[in-house]
Structure 1
C-alpha cells in the first residue's frame, strides 16, 4: 500500500509554519544573548561568509553550514559538536533570516532551545554590531 503524496502548500507556508513555533529575536537581542553565553550559529556557506563578512570572532560564533546542522547538534548523534549541549541556547543566523527559521525549527524538533535572528547577518551588519567584514563590504 502506497501513501498519498504529502500536501504541498509552498515554501511560504512552510516558512510560516516553522516560524509559528519560534520566538524569533532581533539582532540587538541576539548580540546581548551571545554576550551572555548563548551559542550564535552561522549557517551560511563559506563563499557567502567570505563575500558578506562574519560576526566578530570575539563573540565566539560557531560556523556550522546548513547541510550538516542537525547531525552536529543532535544530542544522540556521533557527529555532534562538543559545544552543542542539550542545555545550550542556540541562536541561528543566516544571511537574511529565512533559512535560519527553517534551521532553528529543525533544531527545536530535536528537543533543543533554538531560535533564529530576524534579518540575519544583513540586519546584524546594518545595526553596526561587531563584524569581521571583507574590505569590499559596505
Structure 2
C-alpha cells in the first residue's frame, strides 16, 4: 500500500461514517452544510450542487473555523454538520479529517464526490454556485 493510500485509509477510519449522495442531500435540507472544494475548472466543466458552499481547498480551514476571523457566516459553531465534497471522494476525506481536528465534530465527506452526486440524479446546475465571500480580516 502506498503512503497516500495509507493516509486515506487512516483518515476514513477516523471519520467513521461517510455519507452517500442521497444522505448528504437530506442532511443539507435539514440544515447541514455541503462544501464543494473542487477546482474552478471542474465546477465550470461539470456544474455545481446548488445548495453547496464553494470554498477552495486552500481556504477551507480558515473559512470553516467557527472561532476564526475569516470564517463564513455558516460556520456558526463546532456542532455544524459539514459534508465536504470533491470530484470523486478522495481529497474530501482528507479535508473532512482536517475539519474534525479543528473541532468540527460532525464533519465528514461524500462517498464518490460530485461525480456520485450527479450519477445519483441529484440537482446540479451550471454557474458559479454559492461562492464563499472573499476573506476579510476583522
State whether TM-score is above 0.5: yes
Gaps in structure 1 of 5+ consecutive residues: 1-8
Residues 81-116 of structure 1, C-alpha deviations (whole Å, 9 max, x = no match): 111122211010110000000000000000102000
Say which SS state the counterpart of residue 107 (structure 2) adopts. Answer: strand
- Given candidates 42, 46, 64, the residue that maps to 2:55 is 64
SS in 1 for 2:14: coil
- Could you tell me which runs of 5 or more consecutive residues in structure 2 were left unpaired when the two chains were aligned: 128-138
Q: Let me know the Cα RMSD of the aligned residues.
A: 1.3
* Equivalent residue for 1:126, pick from 110, 116, 119: 119
The structure 2 residue matched to 1:33, chosen from 27, 31, 40, is 27
User: Which structure would you say has the larger Rg?
Assistant: 1
Q: Deviations over 1:25-59 (max 9, x none)?
A: 10010011111110000011111100111112xxx
Structure-1-length-normalised TM-score? 0.85
Residue 74 of structure 1: aligned partner: 65
1:21, distance to aligned residue in structure 2 (A): 1.1
Return the TM-score normalized by structure 2: 0.85
Any runs of at least 4 consecutive aligned residues in structure 1 with deviations exceeding 4 A, and if so which? Answer: none
2:130 corresponding residue in structure 1: none
